[in-house]
Amino acid sequence: ALYNSSARESTFHLEQRLQLSVIMAYVWLGLAVILQSLLTPVKLCEIPEGHTRLIRSLNLKLLRSTVDNSGEPNPSIYIGLRLSEDHSLEREADYLKKLKTSLETITACSKTNNQEQPSTGILALYLTALKASCEDMEKPERMRLITRLKHQLHKEKKQIIEKNHPLTNYFQYSLGLIALCIHGKKVDEKVIQKLINVEKKDGFVHGETLSVDTEAMAGLAFLCLKSSDLYLPALTAEMNLAIDNVKQKIIKSKRQRVPLGTFTAHRLLYSSFLLWEPQKVMKNVQRQSMP
């Protein structure tokens, strides 16, 4: 069974750098108008015309992925397809059916066979894919998914308190916060505070190296949560400070090579850097996307 296998969970952990980041493009679209007004004097920019072939290349890869039946359907692929200006509605509809079937299977199995619950990142991805499909999220079965993600984040928080690290990782933790945020759900302030505290302590590291991917994901989570106007001024002020800290860490990062390999994987960094360094990030995307 997929979610009862630690090996498959490890595979998800490794592949998230290649595939989960596309979700942030969707989040970016949802936040773009808000951020443009909140984060002045930075001006948002369009992707330069000369880079459109990179976008088209990504779209083709995503479309090819929809006919690959060798593994489980990936919700991040569907999100990427919904982002595209060039749509194949038939393929998107077919892939959405596969996603819903997969979702029903894993949630049913985890209930009846005492299997492990889908991870925070998996739940967040499915919820965001459903949002991208204009699914009615007020239906009872969809509301239960949102509640399940809330419970999962509380488990993550508890693990941080007890063992000083989450059940999954801070990348997935941040992704879960974003998924709840774009569904308009208020998150327990203690769950948010835990992520703020880790950011203050420079805890987003891989080994001994700063994880720019996780910094960017956490930064976008703080941006979304703060922009929702659901939280007390004191917590909002802390999120503002965390956003500034993340921004500076990303800008000051001296890493010359991001070992992600595809344009898709750069969507997260692209979304974050676009606030502050639009020309730099497009040059980086182009360089890293070349064979």
Tell me: is residue 128 an annotated ligand-binding position.
no
Amino acid 10 reads S
Tell me: is residue 213 an annotated ligand-binding position.
yes
Tell me: is residue 69 an annotated ligand-binding position.
no
d(CA 98, CA 110): 18
Tell me: is residue 136 an annotated ligand-binding position.
no
Tell me: is residue 26 an annotated ligand-binding position.
no
Q: Quick check: 93 and 124 in contact, CB under 8 A?
A: no
Tell me: is residue 66 an annotated ligand-binding position.
no
Distances (CA, A) of 184 to 54, 78, 178, 187, 197: 32, 21, 10, 9, 23
Which residues does the annotation place in the binding site for cyanocob(III)alamin?
168-172, 213
Which residues does the annotation place in the binding site?
168-172, 213
